[in-house]
Amino acid sequence: MHDILLDCRGMACPQPVITTREALEKKPSSVTVLVDNAPASENVRRLLEKSGYASGLAVEQREDSLWAVRGAASCAVCAEAEAVIEAAGERASRTLVFLSTDTLGHGSDELGAKLMANFLATLPELGANLWRIVMVNGGVRLASQPGRSLDALKKLEQNGVSLLVCGTCLEHYGLLDAKQVGETTNMLDIVTSLDLADKIIRP
């Protein structure tokens, strides 16, 4: 068992997560990851938490453009068991909704916003088949701006639907602090989710 320090500054999404995941394969006793943006710090934190490194898990902003994410090995056996249970539940049914804009259709943005709110409010009709909603590009506004769409997403999350919100997109639109629902994610998680889904809905 040993400690690892990873300098992932300057790496584009999702390379900090990939680099950290590769380092965790060596089973270090603890790992500290240096990144230069908030989305990367959140993505690395989630990876450490899900990988059995939740002991002493902390994110420290040391400078304007420097975050240090640290975690120590905890109950790896428990974490592995939880992952197996989660995977078994996901195999039951995995319908993914992929949202790349905050409106539905073309023509009128005002009408499109109303249609998107109606669409999200109707998704519970899919029942247990609805597994995950992924928001990228303009779709991240749905998780950040008050209104019927945000209310519908909050209800979906409360009912157990996984919501992933692109961190790079939030940063681009200046919405990192405005996000009110879902997990800030990275392109690796998004691509993996698309691969795991049994059905993908792109409205």
Q: Which CATH number fits domain 93-201: 3.40.50.1100, 3.40.1260.10, 3.40.640.10, 3.30.450.40?
A: 3.40.1260.10
Domain 3-80 class in CATH? alpha beta
| Amino acid 81: pLDDT | 40
Q: What confidence tier does 50 reach under pLDDT thresholds 50, 70, 90?
A: confident
Q: Is 57 exposed, middle or buried (0-12, 13-18, 19+ CB in 10 A)?
A: middle
* Residue of 92 and 47 predicted with greater confidence: 47
How far, in Å, CA of 86 to CA of 190, rounded?
A: 17
| Amino acid 75: pLDDT | 58
pTM: 0.73
Q: What is the pLDDT of residues 186-203, one digit of tens each?
A: 999 999 999 999 999 999
